[in-house]
Structure 1
């Protein structure tokens, strides 16, 4: 299913009569009419009829078909929650009325579980004990609540369903979509016969929707399901990019407030502890209480530090980039469901690990192979941005997270430069001075070449144990870019080819730098594979370089010993052995 401006989906339905005389389940997937294709999205729904044989089937099919027709027929100007309520409400009234006037349809009703895939979100409407599951990564989650009575032998008795009463209260929720999300809509003939672990295992196999739906239905039948069995599987293949103006309108309605306190609850996030507090923002480790306490990082702007316009622009940038760049090497920004967020902040997954800057302080020496491995991953992260014409503008060790398993994440996209993004040319050029290319001090606002320069400085510092090639640049100063200090002056154990590659990356003239991060990565890989014979000869480091303190202690002890010996010699009386004097006398007489 492919429609411009909507998610790309692949879906399949399998329904079995099972051990019943007829099949009262009904499921369908609908595409919008061509006139509404760009705005309406796709609808998927499952219904499980109750009542007499004919009545249950009629109720299920009428509910699904009627809901879809109403959704595509009502005006788009209605809010989504109001739209879903009208669609299912009208169906409920018809089913309830027909069940009261037609003897063949007496007491008919049905469950209903539906999803609307529109834009970058899924809108859920549910009543009864059919279910909707979502598999994200390897973690399945049940998104619906069964509306059945509790107690022994009562778990099959519905207290809420389409057609039971003239009025209907539906469960409504919204979920941001991600590529590779998988949804399962199913009747109780399936989930009532399979354990949760069995459903999870089959969904995790990531077979095609057709194969997965068939496997689920057949497994439920084999395990003795006495009911009809229906499985509808939807895979999200790709998402449309978020529109900049839509993001800006949504973000600019959020107030900029004081920082929260540790332990405070906000929009379902419980602030656990402060991770860091910089000049412009503060990061809190938080628990998402609406997702089983899942750890996340919430980023708040510092009030009164920069103009509100700059802050809102930064958060719009991060949201816009998060909607477009999906890379294992770039930190993700989590999209929030409509209505949840009440103030300005952004939410990211919690990535365990330390920044590259922290690692440089703790263990400043990195060997060649491990350093090249990190360098290649960082080049991939930068290329993932450049491929979308996004310039990071603040690549530095503080914004590189090293994960325990060897992974890497490039963070902080708040000052990135975006294609066709209007900037106030009067604003100062953003960035950290020590990583800014010379042309940025002349007014260049950021390019692939300036990112390559910052990447080169970052890699130089990683290998040099924290030293800067041109020295550390103070804010508001205008540095002079002469000849950078050779990397081998800090690390004589590293090969000369690495020094040459990094010297080219940090060249003052942008024309002399690698064309992009891919070219830099190629030079590093080629050097590692072919440059072994050009390495500087390895030598054992002298004590002065290995342990300066121990060296000077040894020198002081030696000097003290020499002074003591010299003092003893000066204090002894001058004398000569008698034998020596007699020998001298005879020698003189013989002459």
Structure 2
């Protein structure tokens, strides 16, 4: 077992048996640290249909997915209630840690439970041994500095701080008198799961509580507040809550999990892997050096903050790209954050148009750098310097580049430095959007002001007013890039002095390209709107315009008529036919 299971053995009336290994107390520096306690009781029932678990996971799982605590209460009026609750908890944990963490906790949690819900709903209607099987489900996912409640049914999640108890969930039961025990939403009741979510910021010394209705159905909010305020160990206070439910005469199974937040996590480790967090940042190497078995063959680029090499893995191994930070120009936190962002995103975004990063064997790296595939080709900047694109070729490139941006946005990621220099045109015709070091992920702290992301000339007007970057500023940068694809120039007409860009008066693309279709010019100018509200709602909408406009502008090929192929021969043939008809008319007379 990879997680700590809290489930009452049949025949036991109180206490808990912990199955598995590990402890819910975390000691890793810079990480969220908690302590958890569990208690449950049968009450007057013959078996316990409650299930609870606290999932610790590996250090990398803690960094990427957080820690999970949950309770589930099998519906008493159905068959296999205990099976339903336990499988819900186990299935959720296993599926949740397999989700892409870039989805965010809420979306990943829903995806993790959706498949099980459909299975249980079907079994409840087809298997006589599981007729009507259903279960409540309430989980708390703790990651970084936030807890997210995922909930359906009438179990409850609570947050306790400074003597104030706040309920994080709403019961999904009928409101009519005498029917307030009847669930209308739970896992297995409906074919499509509807899961409530709510996020709450965490502070050190917060307490979190999960209860089934055998507890809160008889123990008042005031008593729960009093018991949590005792501040004994989580295990002792969880047991006191169960004892209070027994004293109050609960008629159901009663389960409680108490979680103490000992220390909150660092924001920059909220969703980014911690496997490289302790690697030293050393002076950038030079061509010819050997680093961790990689031979640096040649310098690929030497930028302001990074130095990039083509390297070979060992003797005769494959070629790849290694990118190193320049610690003298970039702060340690900025360098580490940028490199972990790029590594994290590049390993998880599944798009043929977004550059990847490679995962090295554990323990191989002795310093901070990232490894990437070697994309053979040239930058879009170099291609534009040679000549502008023909309209059909440029539209095709625009669609593929827009799809790369859309793939990032679907995962909540903002690139923040879209420009021709960061687009690789591969020799085989492929396209890769690269350089994700300044990308913005949800809930991740920003760069220092001196290290603000973006390139002058591509930054949206609102970024000069303090906007840190979002999907609409990405769209503006994409618009500038597309403008340059077709015209070779900048919308402002100023290639060097970007501090005085005339945002309100971009030069119309047709000034440079009279052959540009009106629909294409309108699309590009819309991405460059000064007011973000005037741009496309998202890049997906831009893709639709580019695809539909291209299809309308280039109708399907058809066989040309003789008149279209050779007008002279067409009219000669017509004249010959008319002459024959004239002769025929004379002969008839």
In the superposition, the TM-score normalised over structure 1's length comes to: 0.48
Larger radius of gyration: 1
